Amino acid sequence: MYWKQWLQTLLSLVVLLGVSELLLPPGELARFAKLVLGLCLMLAVLQPLVLLVNQDLLGVDLAWLRGTDVAPEVELSAERLQWAGIQVLWQEHDQQFAAELEKALAALPGVQKVQADLPPQGSGAQSVRIFLEPYEPHLRLDVQETAAALLRVSPGHIAVLPWP
């Protein structure tokens, strides 16, 4: 595959060099353009030879990066930050926030009763409890996804439970 790309590069440079010779008027600018394109053509021709001589340039070993995968840590930190932002909002408007959430969830088709129980500030609870009537699997998932979208937290922070 590499040889096809190399030949394509060479041919395109040769065509570009030919077109530039035809279009540029004779003089100092034409000589400079021929020099630059000639150097580029020479580098393109020598590229496979450099790779054959120096095998280290064929690929960069990035295996050491696999051991330092920080993506899960970043995602976990982002979730904690979102959760902290939601808790600050609840602290200021606890009852109003729960009422708005209940109102939005009650508008879902099939929901008869819904009650949102926000964790008290400083309790360390990491989930919102939502009590649902009727408690059906498809309805539970809809309520969980809708509440997660409204609160802008992951669905893992939403616990949907049957009506007490």
C-alpha angle with apex 107: 105 to 111, nearest 5 degrees?
70
- Residue 80 domain flag: no
Q: Are 138 and 107 in contact (CB under 8 A)?
A: no
Domain end point (choices 60, 76, 104): 60
Distance between CA atoms of 46 and 9, rounded to whole angstroms? 12
pLDDT averaged per 10 residues, the chain (length 164): 77 84 81 83 82 60 54 73 70 72 85 79 68 84 85 80 83
Q: Which two tokens stand for residue 30?
A: 């034409």
**Given this model, what pLDDT does residue 159 score?**
84
Same domain for 155 and 91: yes
Q: Which two tokens stand for residue 49?
A: 């030879």
**Given this model, what pLDDT does residue 154 score?**
77
**Given this model, what pLDDT does residue 1 score?**
45
Q: Are 155 and 117 in contact (CB under 8 A)?
A: no
Distance between CA atoms of 3 and 47, rounded to whole angstroms? 11
For residue 92, the domain's CATH number is 3.30.300.30
Give the domain extent around 52.
Answer: 2-60
**Given this model, what pLDDT does residue 135 score?**
82
- Residue 75 domain flag: no
Tell me: cis bond preceding 134? Omega within 30 of 0 counts: yes
C-alpha angle with apex 110: 152 to 118, nearest 5 degrees?
35
**Given this model, what pLDDT does residue 54 score?**
67
- Residue 65 domain flag: no
Q: Are 89 and 97 in contact (CB under 8 A)?
A: yes
How many structural domains are present in the chain?
2
Distance between CA atoms of 51 and 91, rounded to whole angstroms? 63
